[in-house]
Structure 1
């Protein structure tokens, strides 16, 4: 996690360095040293992010395989549940069980014979 935060800080710091418009008085007129420093910082951030990605790649591959294996079960569950709007928010019971209560459908209005109106 520290590496990720460091990489983000370096990447964010590289942007303003490259965006500076004025050159300091002791810098060469062509800005070569500043540009070279910004390029080195950018390259360092790139390498750090690549290293983090290569470390995370096995875990991401394993997660992808797990989701692939779970897909049929999740599709069956989604088919059983139907529209999630038919349920109240999940509740956690004191024993640790989690329940999803189905909303009760509202009673249908009675059909009125033709010609009758409801007084309001």
Structure 2
């Protein structure tokens, strides 16, 4: 049992020295092992991201088709983003977005058939 415990520090010392032994001095063309490894890592990332994009593309297209009417309506209501100040939080926790004083006046919204107005 004592012999095995004595091997633990020796094994730790050998493992900590292994990166020094594993370093490559460079190939015949001057490219080091580090740059080759980074190149392989870059290729792997490209393959991963391409696969992820291929997998998510149909879902993102479905989401875009589903969200398109709501986003179109939102853009009709907002008009121009440059006409608004930055959001502001009030002491009671409400968040307001004020129109800039020099913004052009809003046009009256069109009445939608079947839409009710609650007062």
Shorter chain as denominator, the TM-score bin is 0.3 to 0.5
Compute the TM-score of the two structures, normalised by the length of structure 2: 0.42
Return the structure number with greater relative CO, CA threshold 8 A, min gap 6.
1
